[in-house]
Amino acid sequence: MISRLLEFFQLAVRQLSRRRVRVILTVAGIAIGVAALVGTVALGDGIRTQAVEAIRSQSDLTLLEALPGVEGNTVQLITGTRASVVGGMAGVQASTPLVRGTAATRGQTYVRVVGISSQGLEGVLLPLYLTGTTFAPGSQEVVLGAALGEKLQRYEGVRTGDPFVLIRRSYDAQGRPADEEITVVPVGILEERGDEYDQVLLMDLDRALSFGDDDGGFSGVLIRAEGPERVFLVAEGVRGLGLSPRGSFEQIEAVNRMMDMVVIFLGVFAGLSLAVGGLMIASTMITSVYERTREIGIAMAVGASERDVMEMILTECAVLGCIGGVCGDLLGVAFAAVLNTLGGPFLTSRFGDAFAGLLDTEIALVTWPLVTTGFILAVGLSLLAGLYPAWKASCLNPVEAIRSGR
């Protein structure tokens, strides 16, 4: 079998070397298509990877929250039982229920209130304190986010240890407003986190519930995943319970969806280039069969079977595909290298320092699976394009083929 394939390969190389200009043009068509495919997909994967890494570095990816979901016209509230189920899901390291509300200070500063247990605050949110420490369970003590703490200190003079009043407005059955006041004492201010918790006031969960911030259930369940690679598993588990997950992972999902569309869009045009290369191979092989009609007839007259003729033609197509695939991969890698070398400085000159980080990263990311896929597509398309010429050659009548004189 191996000797047979080697014989067909040597014959294919000999035949193709007789038509060098035509072969070069045909290989160029395949190579350009493969290079376009490799280059566009590498560019899309590079941008995707940079975006995801930026999100990972700037966000707490392992922190997410399960919110009440909606199925049909029914709101799936988060009860204590459901919160316990969330905490027992695979991939969850720790979890805690929380409630949310709004209030204002006497100086009319808007305050977003989050009720959470002190154990949940320390075990799930993993806070770092700029000053002070966490609140004691069941007390009037609260913890301020970095931005809120700065705002209250600047505009109302509130510092750690200084009591101040929170006012919550509610409405009775007749729609008349009623204000409820509660005195709280800030005992800690968080370091800046870069998320919503920079803007909130954190208090004990039981006290927040008594403050009227519940609506028949918890506002959500704060979840700490075991690692970044487990976040999407946890999010799917939350969705399976009829709840809505929210967190930084949504940005990664949005980036992946957007880049999938971009890669598909660019891949369509690259695929058209590859299809043109396949048509060039079909045209080349049809012309080759026409020019070698007498030669093929003689081969069949001396014992070559229809299968032998088909394998001979398809071997030539495979050789063209292999050469085109290798050349296309090399062109694609070269294109990616040019983008990685010149793309960063170009984007920085056009859009400023926001793109300065691209100078030290790969804009286009070429991987071995991508290069292998490009090569396989080139060979596969070449074989597909050669099926008709091969079948046409195998159907020749040996006597008529010899008489044709071609």
For the chain, the helix, strand and coil percentages under 3-state DSSP, each to the nearest 5:
60, 20, 20
Question: Do residues 211 and 133 both lie within one domain?
Answer: yes
Of 226, 243, 265, the one marking the end of a domain is 226
Question: Do residues 187 and 271 both lie within one domain?
Answer: no
Q: What is the pLDDT of residues 205-243, one digit of tens each?
A: 988 876 654 556 788 999 999 988 889 899 999 998 888
Distance in angstroms (rounded) separating the CA atoms of residues 329 and 372: 8
Question: Do residues 184 and 284 both lie within one domain?
Answer: no
pTM passes above 0.75: no
Question: Do residues 34 and 80 both lie within one domain?
Answer: no
Assess contact for 307 and 283: CB atoms under 8 A: no
Q: What is the pLDDT of residues 152-211, one digit of tens each?
A: 999 888 999 999 999 887 776 677 777 888 899 999 999 998 888 999 999 999 888 766
Which pLDDT score, from 0 to 100, does residue 82 have?
87
Q: Tokens 């200084």 map to which residue?
A: 162
Question: Do residues 52 and 69 both lie within one domain?
Answer: no
Of 182, 211, 226, the one marking the end of a domain is 226
Distance in angstroms (rounded) separating the CA atoms of residues 2 and 231: 50
Distance in angstroms (rounded) separating the CA atoms of residues 21 and 167: 85
Question: Do residues 309 and 194 both lie within one domain?
Answer: no
Asked whether residue 124 is assigned to any structural domain, the reply reads yes
Of 226, 245, 268, the one marking the end of a domain is 226
CA nearest neighbour of 309 among 384, 379, 392, 382: 392
> Residue 210: how many CA atoms within 13 Å on its side-chain side?
10
Question: Do residues 209 and 303 both lie within one domain?
Answer: no
Which residues pair with residue 183 across a beta bridge? Answer: 165
Assess contact for 325 and 377: CB atoms under 8 A: yes
Assess contact for 148 and 209: CB atoms under 8 A: no
Question: Do residues 45 and 98 both lie within one domain?
Answer: no
Q: Tokens 């000053």 map to which residue?
A: 131
Domain count of the fold of the chain: 2
Which pLDDT score, from 0 to 100, does residue 347 have?
58
Structure tokens at 393: 């050659």
| Residues in contact with 263: Cβ distance below 8 Å, sequence separation at least 6, in sequence order | 40, 41, 44, 45
Asked whether residue 237 is assigned to any structural domain, the reply reads no
Structural domain containing residue 270: 2-57+254-403
Q: Tokens 């980080």 map to which residue?
A: 357
Q: What is the pLDDT of residues 255-276, one digit of tens each?
A: 888 888 888 888 888 888 888 8
Question: Do residues 168 and 265 both lie within one domain?
Answer: no
Asked whether residue 232 is assigned to any structural domain, the reply reads no
Question: Do residues 73 and 210 both lie within one domain?
Answer: yes
Question: Do residues 194 and 312 both lie within one domain?
Answer: no
Which pLDDT score, from 0 to 100, does residue 15 have?
74
Q: What is the pLDDT of residues 87-104, one digit of tens each?
A: 899 999 999 999 988 899
Question: Do residues 135 and 269 both lie within one domain?
Answer: no
Which pLDDT score, from 0 to 100, does residue 153 have?
92
Question: What is the torsion angle, in degrees rounded to the nearest 10, for the CA atoms of residue 251, residue 255, residue 258 and residue 263?
Answer: -170
Mean pLDDT calculated for residue range 116-133: 92
The burial of 34, by beta-carbon neighbours within 10 Å (0-12 exposed, 13-18 middle, 19 or more buried), is given as: buried
| Residues in contact with 174: Cβ distance below 8 Å, sequence separation at least 6, in sequence order | none
Asked whether residue 244 is assigned to any structural domain, the reply reads no
